[in-house]
Amino acid sequence: MDMLEIDGSRGEGGGQMVRTSVAMSTVTGIPVHLTRIRENRPTNGLSKQHVAAVRAVAQMAGSEIEGCTMGSGDLLFYPGTQHEYDINVNISSAGSISLVLQAMLLAARGHKKRLTVDICGGTNVMWAPPIDSYSTLLFPMMRKMGIAADVKIIERGFYPQGGGRVIAGLDPIGDISPLQLDTLGDLKAVRGVCFCQRLSDWIPDAMVKSCTQMISPVADIDIDIQYTEGDSRGAGIVLVAEYENGMLGSNALSARGQSPERSGRDAAKDLLSEMRSGATMDVHTADQLLPYMAMAQGESSFNVSRISRHLLSQMDTLESFLDVKFGVERIQDVYRFTVTPGARR
């Protein structure tokens, strides 16, 4: 089979192109050669997190890899045909568990039995989805597509120590139902999780208070505060607005030099902005669900408030592997996306 050549500096030019490429290579059986990986980033080539993701995906199918080392800008991935079902992954840093898991779950499209992944690294780190958003938002949305995944947080890991641990499971994926989110319907609930590890109790209290003050004029909100023990320290908040037909989410981490009140306000502001925009899916969730829509048994549609470079890059990568057509149309203040599998034949 011919090898697919992908320029890793194109579009968003980050690690997502690497993760999606090796996952889709596993799903389709198409070998892939990635060049100029993260060439436009301050630190070029593969990071520890990317190396962990590629190796984990390779282990799942007995795939062969060349160039999978820290700083490498050139990667060859030859997908195997085996199916491993119990996998342990150690990112050995605060690298994002969520992002490594994202690639692994997608790569498991052809698995015939339940996949279990025991993974160590960062559960709540900057520039990555918090692991909490998987259980509260991503996985419930995947269930609407007929995909059953779950996750259990054993220990939280924050930057720079990491040390988090998560056990995730994925049932075999059969036919994937399309998602048609043209309207969200009525608002059912707004809820959240505020987590705190090895920091003073006033920090999550302040975060929840400022968040509640912003959202309560619009909707009732229920936020669960979780205190945990672990090697690293940190705090943050994850919010979800649940509607009849779908969900919108936002999140914020506490940061040095930023008050917890501001973190709470930022999360609330982002959620309210999505709720008022006319979007039927937040842009981060769209980014993660797009590959499954591209493999669904029919056309999917959704509205986003903005088009991220991540989303465009994801479309570009998926079009390289699959027979799928994406449509984007500006309608008033939102962008309507359509995903039509099999449309290019």
For the domain that residue 118 is a member of, what is the CATH number? 3.65.10.20
Position 345 pLDDT exceeds 60:
no
Judgement on whether residues 103 and 129 belong to the same structural domain of the protein:
yes
Confirm whether 310 is domain-assigned. no
**Residue 270, in any domain of the structure:** yes
Structure confidence by residue, pLDDT tens digits, 241-268: 999 999 999 999 998 888 999 999 999 9
CB 102 within 8 A of CB 47: no
Please indicate, yes or no, whether residues 148 and 212 belong to a single structural domain of this protein. no
63: pLDDT confidence band, cut at 50, 70 and 90? very high
Which tokens go with 84? 């491993």
The confidence band for 39, taking pLDDT boundaries of 50, 70 and 90, is: confident
Give 249's strand partners: 240
Tokens of 227: 């205190």
CA pair distance 94, 123, nearest whole angstrom:
8
Residues 22, 122 within the same domain: yes
pLDDT confidence band for 344 (50 / 70 / 90) = low
Residues 76 and 196 in one domain: no
Separation CA 36–CA 315 (nearest Å): 19
Query: Which residues form the domain of 265?
Result: 187-277
Residues 107 and 218 in one domain: no
Indicate if 146 and 209 belong to the same structural domain.
no
Contacts of 86 (CB under 8 A, 6+ apart): 116, 118
Which of 277, 302, 321 is the endpoint of a domain? 277
Residue 181 lies in a domain: no
For residue 110, what is the DSSP state? Answer: G
Instruction: Please say if 310 is a catalytic residue.
Output: yes
If one counts the domains in the chain, the total is 2
